[in-house]
């Protein structure tokens, strides 16, 4: 079906204004289909003109325009032709729609724990026509009035306050104007915890089988919600405008969360079934803050077209981390930002698919999905931090308030935002915006022993970006130098560097204030093994880790050095985000991609040994902080250890750290490692499945089967991906993530050239958003060989893969090239 082009959207918005949307959904027709009735009231500026509405039904039963019957020939490729429009119009459409199983549209999922079904709407980016007839573009906003029929024991949550009017019949209050992609309905036998704060009704909801952890964790989540509301009300000067505020934790969600006004949806793994580390709690708090920030950036003021996606995501990203640090009392949030989000963003910046923060071409809606990445999130947030350094925080906040007030319940774009900021700052910002927002690429910062800080700019993306940053130096656990500098040319002198001791670790951008690759000087790099753990500033340590891992990706740092630093410094780390992210990158990337196959077993043993050192440290330290260290150590050991006796004891629940007793998710992690070592028989796996009938357990079991290093297991996983028409988005992702795990590449080498055909086949039953995520996991980069690169290149040349899938494959192709370059240089 054709994707709406920007030109078509501009023309339709110039012609039409939508004044009211009435949607009636019947979700009580079984597991596959639902009924949809829509009444759209809209005006036309040129009576007699023609346009079209968007609708993608299984069956179109009736459609009338101003009482005139539209025939089946009027619906072509999801577009319903509307001819001879009047000044005021009513379009009525009745259709049967299909539930989605790929996380898009109205997704329906069965919880195997109790066989109950749950439905939620995820209408981003262009899935709304799979639910109701509409004009599906972000600048045709309208108030929605929604009614829903559901099984009698279900409840309903949506954008407007929901009220049950009879058995199985619910009505939702009419909303303020919403873009189509924000509309949602969440229906099922939810468990709910409700509260109220500052006149705003609050609710958190999850599946029945998650009742115990939801009730246990609800107050912490609601406390975060209350604090964020207070913080944003103070900051923006505009009260939350969308009535009630519900947060629904839904199954098989493609993203982390979605900012539907009044009814935010989250992936339900944020309701922790077992023990949670501090960084997991921080991530959940930050996600709550991020989605709430969208109530102003994205929902109150929505981008006019998808090329201004950054106006949503960069702002929500920055505001969430600012709020986590300043309002929630978690300054370590900025460490997590550097270790998790910026690592993601720098990888996107290195890829050939890199693009500017703002104004990236989006000729149609689907092409915009390709830029929904670490640049729009992490780089955009970093650029906003640089904007604040450039104009001051008071001017920034004043500009934000101006922009929100001027475009409330409407749409905005980059030029209008810059105008607001320029007025607040009292200066023209177009040159700054050209360098930071409209030009792709990351500068490279390097400091020599004489104290000269040099900026180099990518030759393919020339720009003069001013950087406000600091430089710090450490000797042992002492900070011996810190200077704040403004680099607005090619270089600047940093006082005091030339007099530092020979063993000093010197860290440019130590507070991680700017967006740039940091090249550590050779003396600092050589000293990391012995000295990194002593650096007292966790932010500076995070910058060093990011630099080290980025240098490895660029074939400038030997992955064996990374492993040496992990072995020496990681077990002495205190920051939870550094501990978790470094260990994950090492076990998921450094070892399986950047080391040769014959080195990986020994490398994993070294990682497991480092986890044991961390566990011993936790045991000797004692206290709540030690419990978190012990939890991280156990998880890392379970991903890397090969002591079968210990793994079997842990799988049986024996000799576990105290916080992991009865933790089903940890048990599945152990079983996955046993399966990867071909030390798990079918009987033990079957017993584990019987003991954990949850959705998480069912999915974990798929991954456990897929990682088993046998020809039969790989064939089973491949066939299941290809042949199972009922495979959900999460199930496909689990199988793909486990498939390439193999101690001997020969086991999976026969499949390398077949990935493109499989993805093309899956495209017939999965939406682009879901399939793009599967494509990332299914790319054959796990077999780091020239033949895999040949196969990857051939895939990129195909014409039967969607733009989003091609973009995902292009990024993974770049990762494979990075790994091959590292192998070639450091073999």
The predicted model scores a pTM of 0.97
End-to-end CA distance of the chain: 48
User: Of 94, 244, 283, 291, which is the active-site residue?
Assistant: 291
Burial (Cβ within 10 Å: 0-12, 13-18, ≥19) of residue 59: exposed
pLDDT at res. 1: 63
Q: What whole-number distance in Å separates Cα of residue 738 and Cα of residue 593?
A: 15
pLDDT at res. 361: 77
Contact present, 13 and 136 (Cβ < 8 Å):
no
Active site residue 605: no
Share of residues in the chain with pLDDT > 70 (%): 100
**DSSP string for residues in 106-148:** EEEEEETTTTEEEEEEE-TTTTGGGTS-B--STT--B-EEEEE
Q: What is the DSSP letter of 5?
A: B
Q: What whole-number distance in Å separates Cα of residue 723 and Cα of residue 721?
A: 6
The answer to whether 1-99+128-162 and 307-436 have equal CATH topology is no
Q: What whole-number distance in Å separates Cα of residue 532 and Cα of residue 512?
A: 17
Non-local (6+) Cβ contacts of 523 within 8 A are 449, 502, 506
For 188-201, how does the pLDDT look when each residue is reduced to its tens digit (9 = 90+)? 999 999 999 999 99
- Is the domain covering 307-436 a CATH 3.40.720.10 domain? no
For 417-456, how does the pLDDT look when each residue is reduced to its tens digit (9 = 90+)? 999 999 999 999 999 999 999 999 999 999 998 999 999 9
Q: What whole-number distance in Å separates Cα of residue 319 and Cα of residue 402?
A: 16
**Average pLDDT score, the chain:** 96
**Residue 366: φ, ψ to 5°:** -65, -35
Q: What whole-number distance in Å separates Cα of residue 4 and Cα of residue 178?
A: 19
Domain boundaries, the chain: 1-99+128-162, 307-436, 709-827
CATH number of 1-99+128-162: 2.60.40.1730
Continuous H helices in 514-558: 522-531, 538-553
User: Does an H or E element contain 232, and which?
Assistant: helix 211-236
Q: What whole-number distance in Å separates Cα of residue 49 and Cα of residue 63?
A: 19
Query: Which is nearest to 170 in space by CA: 191, 196, 145, 205?
Result: 145
And the tokens for 374? Answer: 């670490």
**Below-70 pLDDT ranges, the chain:** 1
Residue reference for tokens 């007292």: 536
**DSSP string for residues in 553-571:** HTTSS-HHHHHHHHHHHGG
**Residue 231: φ, ψ to 5°:** -65, -45
Non-local (6+) Cβ contacts of 226 within 8 A are 197, 198, 202
Instruction: Look at strands 169-172 and 144-149 and give their pairing.
Output: antiparallel
């Amino acid at each position: 079906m054709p994707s709406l082009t920007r030109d078509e959207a501009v023309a339709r918005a110039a012609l039409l204004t939508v004044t009211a949307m009435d949607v009636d959904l019947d979700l009580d027709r079984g597991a596959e289909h639902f009924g949809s009735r829509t009444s759209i009231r809209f005006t036309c500026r040129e009576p007699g003109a023609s346009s079209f509405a968007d609708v993608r039904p299984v069956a179109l039963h009736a459609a009338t325009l101003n009482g005139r019957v539209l025939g089946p020939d009027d619906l072509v490729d999801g577009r319903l032709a509307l001819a001879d429009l009047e000044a005021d119009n009513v379009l009525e459409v009745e259709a049967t729609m299909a539930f989605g199983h790929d996380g898009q549209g109205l997704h329906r999922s069965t919880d195997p724990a109790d066989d109950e079904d749950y439905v939620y709407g995820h209408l981003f980016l262009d899935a709304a026509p799979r639910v109701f007839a509409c004009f599906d573009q972000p600048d045709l906003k309208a108030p929605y009035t929604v009614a829903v029929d559901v099984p009698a024991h279900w409840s309903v949550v949506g954008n407007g306050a929901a009220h049950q009017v009879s058995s199985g019949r619910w009505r939702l209050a009419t909303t303020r104007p919403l873009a189509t992609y924000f509309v949602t309905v969440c229906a099922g036998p939810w468990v709910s915890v409700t509260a109220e704060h500052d006149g705003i009704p609050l609710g958190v909801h999850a599946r029945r089988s998650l009742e115990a952890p939801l009730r246990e964790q609800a107050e912490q989540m609601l406390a975060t919600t209350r604090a964020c509301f207070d913080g944003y009300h103070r900051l923006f000067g505009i009260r939350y405008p969308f009535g009630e505020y519900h947060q629904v934790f839904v199954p098989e969600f493609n993203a982390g969360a979605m900012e539907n006004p009044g009814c935010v949806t989250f992936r339900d793994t944020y309701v922790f079934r077992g023990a949670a580390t501090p960084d997991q709690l921080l991530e959940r708090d930050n996600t709550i803050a991020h989605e709430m920030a969208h109530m102003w950036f994205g929902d109150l003021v929505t981008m006019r077209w998808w090329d201004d996606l950054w106006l949503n995501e960069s702002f929500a990203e920055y505001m969430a981390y600012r709020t986590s640090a300043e309002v929630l009392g978690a300054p370590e949030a900025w460490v997590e930002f550097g270790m998790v989000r910026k690592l993601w963003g720098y990888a996107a910046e290195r890829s050939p698919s890199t693009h500017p923060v703002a104004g990236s071409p989006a000729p149609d809606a689907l092409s915009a999905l390709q830029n929904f990445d670490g640049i729009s999130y992490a780089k955009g947030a970093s650029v906003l931090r640089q904007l604040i350094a450039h104009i001051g925080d008071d001017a920034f906040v004043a500009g934000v308030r101006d922009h929100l007030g001027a475009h409330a319940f409407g749409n905005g774009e980059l030029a209008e935002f810059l105008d607001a900021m320029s007025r607040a700052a009292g200066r023209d910002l177009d040159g700054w915006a050209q360098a930071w927002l409209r030009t792709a690429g990351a500068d490279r910062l390097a400091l020599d022993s004489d104290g000269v800080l040099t900026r180099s700019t990518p030759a393919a993306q020339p720009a003069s970006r001013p950087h406000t940053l600091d430089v710090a130096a450490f000797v042992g656990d002492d900070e011996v130098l810190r200077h704040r500098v403004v680099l607005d040319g090619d270089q600047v002198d940093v006082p005091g560097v030339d007099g530092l001791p020979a063993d000093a670790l010197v860290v440019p951008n130590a507070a991680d204030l700017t967006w740039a690759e940091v090249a550590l000087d050779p003396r600092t790099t050589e000293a990391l093994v012995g000295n990194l753990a002593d650096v007292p500033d966790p932010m500076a340590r995070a910058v060093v880790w990011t630099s080290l891992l980025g240098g490895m990706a660029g074939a400038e740092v030997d992955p064996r050095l990374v492993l040496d630093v992990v072995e020496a410094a990681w077990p002495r780390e205190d920051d939870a985000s550094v501990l978790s992210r470094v260990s994950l990158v090492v076990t998921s990337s450094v070892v399986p991609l950047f080391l040769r196959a014959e080195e990986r077993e020994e490398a994993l043993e070294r990682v497991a040994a480092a986890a044991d050192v961390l566990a011993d440290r936790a045991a000797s330290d004692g206290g709540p902080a030690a419990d978190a260290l012990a939890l991280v150590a156990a998880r890392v050991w379970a991903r890397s250890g090969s002591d079968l006796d210990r793994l079997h004891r842990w799988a049986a629940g024996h000799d576990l750290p105290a916080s992991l007793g009865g933790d089903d998710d940890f048990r599945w992690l152990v079983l996955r490692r046993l399966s990867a070592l071909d030390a798990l028989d079918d009987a033990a796996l079957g017993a584990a499945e019987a003991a954990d009938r949850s959705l998480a357990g069912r999915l974990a079991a798929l991954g456990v089967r897929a990682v088993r290093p046998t020809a039969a297991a790989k064939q089973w996983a491949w066939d299941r991906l290809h042949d199972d028409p009922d495979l959900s988005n999460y199930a496909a992702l689990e199988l793909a993530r486990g498939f390439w795990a193999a101690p001997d590449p020969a086991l999976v080498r026969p499949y390398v050239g077949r990935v493109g055909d499989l993805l093309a086949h899956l495209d017939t039953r999965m939406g682009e958003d879901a399939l793009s995520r599967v494509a990332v996991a299914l790319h054959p980069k796990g077999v780091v060989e020239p033949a895999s690169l040949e196969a990857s290149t051939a895939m990129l040349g195909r014409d039967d893969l969607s733009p989003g899938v091609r973009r995902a494959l292009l990024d993974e192709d770049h990762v494979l090239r990075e790994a091959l370059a590292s192998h070639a240089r450091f073999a």
